Structure 1
Amino acid sequence: MKLLNAIKTINIFQKKEPLIPLYTKWGKEIDYRHVLEEYPRPYLKRDNYLNLNGFWQYSITTTKCYPQYFHNKILVPFSPESLLSQVNKQLKPDEYLWYQRFVILEKKPNTRLILHFGAVDQIAEIYVNHEKIYCHVGGYLPFEVDITKYINNGINDFTVCVQDKSDHSYHAKGKQRLKRGGMYYTAQSGIWQTVWLEEVPEVYIKDVKIVPDFDNDEISMTIIFNQASDQLIKVKIEDEEEISFSSTGKIIDKKIKITNKKPWSPDTPYLYTLTITTNNDKVDSYFAMRTFTIENDKDNIPRVCLNHKPIFMHGVLDQGYWSDGLYTAPSDKALVYDIETIKKLGFNTIRKHIKIETARWYYHCDRLGIIVWQDMVNSGSPYHPLIVTYLPTLFKSLRKRTSDKHHYLLARNDKTNRQEFINECKETINYLSHFPCISTWVLFNEGWGQFDTVELTKYLRTLDPTRLIDSASGWFDQNCGDFRSEHYYFDKPKIIPDKRAFVISEYGGYAYQVKDHVSTKNIYGYQNYDSKEQFQKEYQELLNSTIFPLIEKGLCGAIYTQLSDIEDEINGLLTYDREVCKLDIDK
């Protein structure tokens, strides 16, 4: 073990440097009149929507009383802590962030107005014309409100009140910290994904679920309406005959044969488009024909397979942070740039780490051909670093022998805390199961808030039996799930024999600081290099001499840390502003 490098990552006494303003090229070019205007829900698309991104008025208060005045402007959907919000101020746990915007609307007969929020961190109360109509808890998932009966003809007052306790509560927090530093980053709050209005008929399609049955050349489609009624439903899949059927239910299940199957893969990411038409509604969607399985090879070694063909998941860890937008990408083009760059560097997989992205990010992975491992966002009471970080890093025997029934040690002593995580797992899978690119659910990472892993793995399997599960990434393995999943930063990776597929779900973390492209003077990484040439040499040596030779012995996937620098942590393949790639793409 490289003990000195491991010790250097313990930054308890490191001075916290103020962040240096650092913009991406997309942030520099942002048009405040046209902010993230692309359709926000590609898997269920209608012809009409009203984007509410742009400048809202805001006020920060120390009480929950409705503010008398909103004097300041914030650029939605960027959190107030970000540069692009034009606020650049940290919301504290005992403060309330109020947003206000006036919208001119027309009440129409036989229609409904649905107000959508992509994500609001962390507790959001929604007001229409000063009347509180909804409260949502949880900073990472979308929610919607039917505001039809609350609106007026003409001017309407939309107000949102947000409280974010960040890492001072047990709610989902990811890598956010009010006292940032090292591997933890600036806490962000408030609205951070697109806000939009949608006009729908009185009876409308609320959701569509499409599950491919690759082996039988068919799909299982579930159409969910907002209420039961008599409906004539027509489904037109490209290159297939239109089918029609009647229904009176709220939830309709239908199997549809695919006559000319075109498999999805990173090399050929084919997406089928389809249109569903009902009495008064029409939506567009898409799906892919693919299946992820684990099958033994001729030597009886478990292998990850895509469409029954072995595939090595050569991946990179992506935490989805931006130097000017924090959780929010400055533009849709920025999202595409990251994914396309990852593919150009030779990767076929992204591990989306401790964050849920905007729907458009997953859509781009679907259409560009990138496999995604999706982490559940960690939560729980404050963690014990000695238990979940330092001891497992130094003493590998603890990784396997530690039980997750020690709820207090793993920050899960509170039953409400545990139940909220279970509920959010269900909501996460319900939301993200729309996207074919996702192959794997990652339940827990390095023991952060880990509990009852065996039971929860079984539960996730009932929610989605079509994808793989990494139950415990890094350590505290409970001998369940589809993978034996290890992290290697300070010692040489090796195969650990197991009946499950073996993956290295984190490794690397090599740090190289590029002058004028950093947001802090601190350097945090797992091995530091002073030149680009040295960084590239060691990176290639790691892949060619250590990682790739393990494939023949049973390695099924490996996730390099990480895509981009983030604040102190400069172990990215890209700089935090995405201006410099530390590798030569052509090589």
Structure 2
Amino acid sequence: MKARIILLIATALPFFSVNDAKSQEYKMQNVPIQTRWAKEVSPANALKEYPRPQMVRPNWTNLNGLWEYAITPKNLDSKVISEGKILVPYPIESALSGVKKALLPDQQLFYKKTFSKPVLKFGERLLLHFGAVDWQTTVYVNSKEVGAHTGGYSSFSIDITDALTSGNNLLMLKVWDPTDQGIGPHGKQVLNPANIYYTPTSGIWQTVWMEVVPAEHIENLVMTPDIDKGLLNLKVKAPAGCKIEATAFDGKIKVSAVIGNAGTDLQLVVKNPKLWSPESPFLYDLTIKLLKDGKVIDEVKSYFGMRKISIAKDSKGTDRIFLNNKPYYNLGTLDQGFWPDGLYTAPTDEALAFDIKAIKAMGFNTIRKHIKVEPARWYYHADKLGMLVWQDFVNPNQGLPEGSKEEFEKESAAEMAQLHNYPSIVCWVLFNEKWGQYDQQRLSEWVKKVDPSRILNGHSGELLYVNEQLRSPSPNAYVSADMTDVHAYPDPMMSIKQNGKAQVCGEFGGIGVFIPEHQWLTGSAWGYIQEKPAALKAKYKIMNQHLQLFEKQGLSGSIYTQPFDVEGEQNGLMTYDREVVKIPFAELRKIHAPLNPNMGTIPVVTAKDADLTEPGLLYSAMLDQYIAGKRDATFLKKMAMMATQAGDKPGAELAGSAYIANLKMPLSEEDMASVSQFTKSTKDPGFALMNTNAAAFKKSMGGRKYTVAMMNMILKGEMEPLMNGDNPDWSAIATAVKPYGLPGEEILLRAKTIGFYNKQDWKNYVPTASSYLEKFGANIKEEEKQMFQAAIDQHK
């Protein structure tokens, strides 16, 4: 048996601290590609917009900017030595942070910043707000612990008044983020990305800010529209004994007002409401005052939209998604929310809004926000621009280690509460493709009870087809949900019909199109299928024509994968840097118009149209230049990419080898990234370069990522040629990998463990797997570890 080994785990790196923070100025780190907004980012203007548009007060201070940071072993609680400066709120792994370092499960991240105590009037309090910190956070002010929070996607606030001193104060955070090695929801972040997984985000990744509030103040709002009754249901969390006065405005015109007690259910009448929809995203302004003894003691500004989402039968008796009591086809796309320069964090607020504008300019009316929760301002832009949002819950750790279910439910509850007020969000998505699925009926009914104002996609892609093959059966699919949702790659399919549920195709497409010089990974162009730029439009149009046929049969919505390339995936309608649109915006709108005829105002966005010249002709011209003697590094790198697209594997190897042969140490980070992408085997010229200069490559790539790359090269170059047949000669393979030290030993043990497991050779499996777990258990995904250990326990 020939086994293909996939490695997705990281181990610890040694800790080195550098005490020269004051000498370091901010500089964005190198990255393969970047967006147009990255150059606008500086310590003076890092995301300066008010971060909470639905509860606005004037007296606030933005703490984004340069902080000090240090990475230490997780168990080190002694004095922290600063390693340098980090630009908050960009995650430490991102180029925009100025650091671009991995945070591993056995490490912790410290942040430090000094701030001046603001002037506080008698009784006023100072609240410290965090948009999001991934994952477990402890907060200190002047060395005193003032609060803690667990959860990578939820905002939290701490009253720090009692810890303040006059003048300067020291704020410090301690963060632990085990990513996919922990019990918390982590989305598509993994420590060693591959295919559908991406570079992780750790630590602060949304705005940090302070706000001065009265001693008794408004803490939270809960707003739920009811268009059938012409009401906004409103609850304001504030101290008991206070009164609430809420006033709605249409521009400067007062619509209505209501007065009632804090914490009680209030109803704000909105007669003949202007309804919110993607083609007409009208929002009412809202002023909320807190009164005590007849005096206003606090006031916030907000907004709301009057809209209704439901499942109902159309005139022919077909169950469909209804918006504002009318059938409404949800024409959507799967948005990951990743950025080449900021990872989870958009470079600027303009960039954050651009994604929604671009998707609307393509002619979509729906975004499925895929297993990520965005900052509040993203949903604000969706509300203002007019975009329906299907909001995924962030999936639990798929291995469901002990504690992961409880953490998933806690963080999901926080997600629903935090996002409740946005009219753009019309659907919750509980699970995606069985990723960590459990207790589906109970959890579906829980979500519907907590928020009956929205529809529930209880399981997006519980039935998943790839090339018309069903991945796994589901005997009780879509229990207690409001829709049936099939995933089909590449071509869309009709989901199954169940009474009372709408039918949707929750993912399809994934057409990979390679755009040279706009790639995160130059040696890879992943998609479920590959097309050349000139052929994409026809293929995409045909897919949408099939959607039109399905819509006549009862299909209520569809989600195309995806609007933007992400890291190694090049199946977006735009490139990852948001620079090239692969089908012109106007052409996309024509394709989408039959399913989305009322698009409303189209935002103005700019991007280059893709070059539709046959890639083989472009590559052939480069090959002529190569024959004529052209050998500069930039040319060779591009030639290798073009050869890959043209399907000339020998040409790609030729150009990649020539590119590497021309390199001289010390290499730039960009060169090292290219070497690692072009090097797939110990037989490739880049292997010797990476092996000889291990320290430099480890520093650039991260220690564990480097080790995994070397392991995969050893596998391909040394082991696979010896693994043909059902009975590999493990002694010969061991001899072949011995010169490569620990990476060779680890990949050998992994290959033997998987090989014996697949053959059910338990006599050899038990000692081999036991040795693998003992020596390298820290590198293994939790679900794999549990599987390997269970087999050991059963057969020893």
TM-score by length of 1: 0.89
Match of 2:400 in 1: 412
Match of 1:501 in 2: 502
Match of 2:254 among 230, 236, 240: 240
Is the contact between residue 59 and residue 67 of structure 1 (CA under 8 Å) also seen in structure 2? no
Match of 1:214 among 215, 222, 227: 227
| d(CA) in 1 for partners of 2:139, 2:387 | 36
Which aligned pairs between 1:185-204 and structure 2 lie closer than 5 A?
Answer: 185-204=198-217
Is the contact between residue 198 and residue 567 of structure 2 (CA under 8 Å) also seen in structure 1? yes
Match of 1:448 in 2: 435
Match of 1:129 in 2: 142
- Within the alignment, does 1:515 sit opposite 2:516 as a pair? yes
By how many angstroms is 1:245 displaced? 3.1
Is the contact between residue 443 and residue 471 of structure 1 (CA under 8 Å) also seen in structure 2? yes
| Higher gyration radius (CA) | 2
Report the CA distance shift for 1:71/1:223 in structure 2 as closer, same or farther (over 3 A). same
| d(CA) in 2 for partners of 1:110, 1:535 | 63
State the structure with bigger RCO (CA 8 A, min sep 6), 1 or 2: 1
- Within the alignment, does 1:160 sit opposite 2:162 as a pair? no
Match of 1:347 in 2: 364
By how many angstroms is 1:577 displaced? 0.7
Which aligned pairs between 1:76-95 and structure 2 lie closer than 5 A?
Answer: 76-95=88-107
Amino acid at match of 2:314: D
| d(CA) in 1 for partners of 2:215, 2:128 | 15
| d(CA) in 2 for partners of 1:421, 1:157 | 33
Match of 1:223 in 2: 236
Task: State the Cα RMSD in Å.
Answer: 1.8
Deviations 1:194-250 (A, max 9, x none): 00001000000001111111101111110111x323336353434335535353x5x
Q: Secondary structure at the match of 1:262?
A: coil
| d(CA) in 1 for partners of 2:492, 2:275 | 37
| d(CA) in 1 for partners of 2:289, 2:162 | 26
By how many angstroms is 1:491 displaced? 5.5
Match of 1:106 in 2: 118
Match of 2:194 in 1: 181
Q: Secondary structure at the match of 1:534?
A: helix
Amino acid at match of 2:433: E
By how many angstroms is 1:300 displaced? 1.5
Is the contact between residue 232 and residue 268 of structure 2 (CA under 8 Å) also seen in structure 1? yes
- Within the alignment, does 1:525 sit opposite 2:536 as a pair? no
Deviations 1:77-128 (A, max 9, x none): 0011100000011011111110000001135221011100000011111010
Match of 2:77 among 28, 50, 65: 65
Deviations 1:47-78 (A, max 9, x none): 12100001101111113314343240000000
Report the CA distance shift for 1:104/1:478 in structure 2 as closer, same or farther (over 3 A). same
| d(CA) in 1 for partners of 2:333, 2:5 | 25
Is the contact between residue 372 and residue 438 of structure 1 (CA under 8 Å) also seen in structure 2? yes
Is the contact between residue 61 and residue 67 of structure 1 (CA under 8 Å) also seen in structure 2? no
By how many angstroms is 1:12 displaced? 3.4
| d(CA) in 2 for partners of 1:197, 1:281 | 16
Q: What is the count of residue pairs matched by the alignment?
A: 540
| d(CA) in 1 for partners of 2:127, 2:418 | 17
Report the CA distance shift for 1:258/1:246 in structure 2 as closer, same or farther (over 3 A). closer
| d(CA) in 2 for partners of 1:451, 1:256 | 39
Match of 1:255 in 2: 267
More helix by share: 2
Moved more, 20-29 or 125-134: 20-29
Report the CA distance shift for 1:371/1:11 in structure 2 as closer, same or farther (over 3 A). farther
By how many angstroms is 1:523 displaced? 2.0
| d(CA) in 1 for partners of 2:167, 2:130 | 22
| d(CA) in 1 for partners of 2:405, 2:495 | 33
Amino acid at match of 2:6: I
Q: Secondary structure at the match of 2:128?
A: strand
Match of 1:397 in 2: none
Match of 1:12 among 1, 6, 19: 6
Deviations 1:528-558 (A, max 9, x none): 12x21112221112112x2121101011000
| d(CA) in 2 for partners of 1:576, 1:101 | 33
Is the contact between residue 495 and residue 553 of structure 1 (CA under 8 Å) also seen in structure 2? no
More strand by share: 1
| d(CA) in 1 for partners of 2:178, 2:144 | 24
Which aligned pairs between 1:265-276 and structure 2 lie closer than 5 A?
Answer: 265-276=277-288
Match of 1:314 in 2: 331
Report the CA distance shift for 1:242/1:153 in structure 2 as closer, same or farther (over 3 A). farther
Report the CA distance shift for 1:357/1:66 in structure 2 as closer, same or farther (over 3 A). farther
Match of 2:564 in 1: 564
Deviations 1:145-199 (A, max 9, x none): 0111111111000001111101111211100111111111111201000000010
- Within the alignment, does 1:554 sit opposite 2:542 as a pair? no
Amino acid at match of 2:195: G
Match of 1:338 in 2: 355
Identity %: 40
| d(CA) in 2 for partners of 1:13, 1:523 | 20
Is the contact between residue 511 and residue 571 of structure 2 (CA under 8 Å) also seen in structure 1? yes
Q: Secondary structure at the match of 2:210?
A: strand
| d(CA) in 2 for partners of 1:330, 1:20 | 14
Match of 2:33 among 12, 16, 22: 22
Q: Secondary structure at the match of 2:534?
A: helix
Amino acid at match of 1:23: Q
Is the contact between residue 116 and residue 169 of structure 2 (CA under 8 Å) also seen in structure 1? yes
Match of 1:425 among 412, 429, 437: 412
| d(CA) in 2 for partners of 1:212, 1:497 | 30
Q: Secondary structure at the match of 1:233?
A: strand
Is the contact between residue 396 and residue 408 of structure 2 (CA under 8 Å) also seen in structure 1? yes
| d(CA) in 2 for partners of 1:537, 1:107 | 63
Is the contact between residue 496 and residue 502 of structure 1 (CA under 8 Å) also seen in structure 2? yes
Moved more, 37-46 or 24-33: 24-33
Match of 1:537 in 2: 538
| d(CA) in 2 for partners of 1:69, 1:155 | 20
Match of 1:39 among 29, 50, 58: 50
| d(CA) in 1 for partners of 2:537, 2:31 | 26
Amino acid at match of 1:65: D
Amino acid at match of 1:168: Q
| d(CA) in 2 for partners of 1:558, 1:153 | 57
Is the contact between residue 121 and residue 162 of structure 1 (CA under 8 Å) also seen in structure 2? yes
Report the CA distance shift for 1:49/1:323 in structure 2 as closer, same or farther (over 3 A). same
